[in-house]
Chain A
Amino acid sequence: MFEIEYGDNGEVLCRGRLDAAQCEKALGFMDGLEGPSTLDFAELEYISSAGLGILLKTQKRLVGSSTGLKIINVNNHIHDVFRYSGFHTIFDIEAKE
């Protein structure tokens, strides 16, 4: 189960599990982002390398014309996946408090 939609303040809310089976849904939404965007991962439980690939593709597209993606409220498991992948050097990431 994975859901992605705009929040009240224009941030992108991601919920559930972003696995390889959900990538088409995620990419379909992310391809519509223009300019700097904030992804709120407060309710995202899980991400695999397939999901990382979508973040990477979107960041590459956006950084050419803006500051790219900011990812907030990242749980400690996903934060460690970002760290192992070196994503902390190419994304603006805020851990969940």
Chain B
Amino acid sequence: MRRDFPRSLDSLSPLYEFAEETFESNDISPGVRFPVHLAMEELFVNMVKYNPNVSTDITVEVTVTFLGDATNDATSSKEVTVTLVDDGGVEFDVTAQRQVNIEAPLEERTPGGLGIHLIQNLADRLQYTYKDGRGEVIFTKGSGNEDV
């Protein structure tokens, strides 16, 4: 399923409902849903936050791939892939390693960078491409790797 969302935090709730439609119809486990929702929000919010003067919608696509035995039942191994396309935004490579010290004492902590840090840790695969002003992020998470 693919849908365009206005570039606004008001889109987060519709974005969640959109993904849930796909998850429900494909019997996706909570251990996959949570990190996928988290990744979708973090990536979408980054696109909103770093492109305040861009008005184009952000395109989001959610697909489910059945691995091995291609049957839709609770025991099948499934992989969820989320693609976000930001046409007109600045380049922002979400796969680049960033310095986040999660062992720092409280007084040295800042919230910056935690979203990307979480996505990088939760993804089975994370890809980013940018060409001619069009950024595309692909986040993949499969059942059997539900560490959240």
Contacts and interface: CB of A to CB of B under 8 A. Distances in A.
Interface of A: 1, 17, 19-21, 46, 48-50, 52-53, 56-57, 59-60, 63, 76-77, 80-81, 84-86, 89-90
B96 interface: no
Given A48-B42, A53-B111, 9 more contacts: A46-B38, A49-B42, A52-B111, A53-B114, A60-B106, A77-B34, A85-B117, A86-B101, A86-B104
B69 interface: no
**Chain B contact residues: helix, strand, loop or mixed:** helix
Contacts of A46: 34, 37-38
Contact of A80 (B37, B114, B147): B147
Contact of B106 (A17, A50, A85, A90): A90
A90 B115 contact: no
Interface residues of B, number: 31
Listed from nearest, the 9 A-B pairs whose CB atoms lie closest are A86-B102, A53-B111, A49-B115, A77-B34, A49-B114, A21-B9, A80-B148, A90-B106, A21-B12
Interface string B1-35: 00000000110110010000000000000110010
Contacts of B68: none
A85 B148 contact: no
A90 to B, nearest CB: 5
